[in-house]
Amino acid sequence: MIRQSFRLLVTFASLSFVAGTACAETLTVEQRSIADEKAVFATVESTSVVPARSRIGGTVAELHVREGDAVTQGQAIAVVGDQKLALQMKSLDAQIQALQAQTDQAQTDFDRISGLVDRGTLARTRLDEARTALNVAENNLRAKTAERGVIQQQQTEGQVLAPQDGRVLKRLVAVGSVVLPGDPLVTVAQQNFKLRLRLPEEHARLLKAGDRIRLDGDEFGERTAKWGVVDLIYPQIEEGRVIADATVEGLGEYFVGDRLRVWISGGTRPAFIVPSSYVKTRFGIDYVRLNKGKATIEVPVQRGREMPTPALPDGLEILSGLRAGDRLERP
């Protein structure tokens, strides 16, 4: 009776082991060609940094922004005032009032002389003289009004406008500073940030536009890596380095000039890449479960560095312990 129960227990355990092996998730190891990545440093830079300039000379009366503020194109960020413009405006207002009075008087004289000429009391030459005096007075009034419009436009140009959407990098003046026409007041960086890479010559020869680059997650406080694309390689070498620009999504919150470590492709090499979930660490040694048909064994492997890809975010390189065609089971 005891022997029969033991045989039943062994048979049940064997069936359970085989069923567990059959249902386990397996992965066939394949040798693939991967990019031989090299680490370089890149800086976050704006595509363009444009100064906001004063269009008139005068004194900075108001300054509405500070470093780091976001601005939109056409937003008033400062006001430059010129006391001479206000004095000229008062002078022109007084002259316009005098010319308006002369125009009204000329109009009155013209109407009166026109009535006397119609009744035959005065000669028609007096009517022509009155009409000419009225035209001269009206033209003088229009000229002064246009001159006043010029001064008013200059006062309007005292508002310094943001040249583009972006963030204020630096204020170059303070309230009360005296500026001349064309002087910059603040510098505005366009919000469309890019990564500017500076590569050694030997690495740059392997880089081309359209290549993908990788940023480790710890560079920006996340667990997953970010990916970008090289979109421009500058043809000039400066101090033994080639400069390239890359586009990476989500750089809007970075500081301009922030240095980041970037991985670029330095060629290709064969490697075994498996998901990190298939590797189990026990007492400091890494193991994988190897499916040998009816049996599953654990073999030690040598772990390489993490190799995340868009298709395999948790990719891990295995340096030794595996061969092409091995079938792994998830622990």
Coil, helix or strand for 296?
strand
Nearest alpha carbon to residue 295 among 5, 22, 107 = 22
Q: For 30-70, what is each residue's pLDDT tens digit?
A: 888 877 778 888 888 887 888 999 988 888 888 999 888 88
| DSSP per residue, 21-55 | HHHS-EEE--EEEEEEEEEEEEEEEES-EEEEE-S
| End-to-end Cα spacing for the chain | 37
pLDDT at 222: 64
Within 10 angstroms of residue 136's Cβ, the number of other Cβ atoms is 13
Mean pLDDT of the chain: 81
Is the pLDDT at 18 greater than 60, yes or no? Answer: no
Higher pLDDT, 249 or 287: 287
Q: What's the pTM?
A: 0.51
pLDDT at 187: 92
Is the pLDDT at 20 greater than 60, yes or no? Answer: no
Is the pLDDT at 13 greater than 80, yes or no? Answer: no
Is the pLDDT at 171 greater than 80, yes or no? Answer: yes
Give the rounded distance of the alpha carbon of 170 from its chain centre: 17
pLDDT at 218: 65
**Average pLDDT, integer, range 177-193:** 87
**Average pLDDT, integer, range 141-151:** 88
Within 10 angstroms of residue 146's Cβ, the number of other Cβ atoms is 9
Residue identified by tokens 């040998």 is: 292
Burial per residue of 274-283, b for 16 or more beta-carbon CB atoms within 10 angstroms, e otherwise: beeebbeeee
Give the rounded distance of the alpha carbon of 54 from its chain centre: 25
Q: For 296-322, what is each residue's pLDDT tens digit?
A: 888 899 988 887 777 778 888 888 888
**Average pLDDT, integer, range 101-107:** 91
In this structure, whether the domain defined by 52-81+158-189 belongs to CATH 1.25.40.10 is answered with no
- Determine the Cα–Cα distance for residues 215 and 197; give it in Å rounded to an integer: 12
- Determine the Cα–Cα distance for residues 25 and 289; give it in Å rounded to an integer: 11
User: What is the band of 220 on the pLDDT scale with cuts at 50, 70, 90?
Assistant: low
User: What is the band of 223 on the pLDDT scale with cuts at 50, 70, 90?
Assistant: low
Is the pLDDT at 115 greater than 70, yes or no? Answer: yes
Domain residue spans in the chain? 23-32+270-329, 38-48+190-267, 52-81+158-189, 83-157
Is the pLDDT at 205 greater than 80, yes or no? Answer: no
Angle between the N-to-C axes of helices 83-118 and 124-156, in degrees from 0 to 180, rounded to the nearest 10: 160
- Determine the Cα–Cα distance for residues 114 and 91; give it in Å rounded to an integer: 34
User: What is the band of 24 on the pLDDT scale with cuts at 50, 70, 90?
Assistant: low
List the structure tokens of 158.
């005292």
Nearest alpha carbon to residue 30 among 324, 312, 274 = 324
Per the document, the length of the chain is 331
Quick one: fold of 23-32+270-329?
A: 2.40.420
List the structure tokens of 277.
């979930």
In this structure, whether the domain defined by 38-48+190-267 belongs to CATH 3.50.50.60 is answered with no
Q: Tell me the chain's radius of gyration from C-alpha atoms.
A: 41
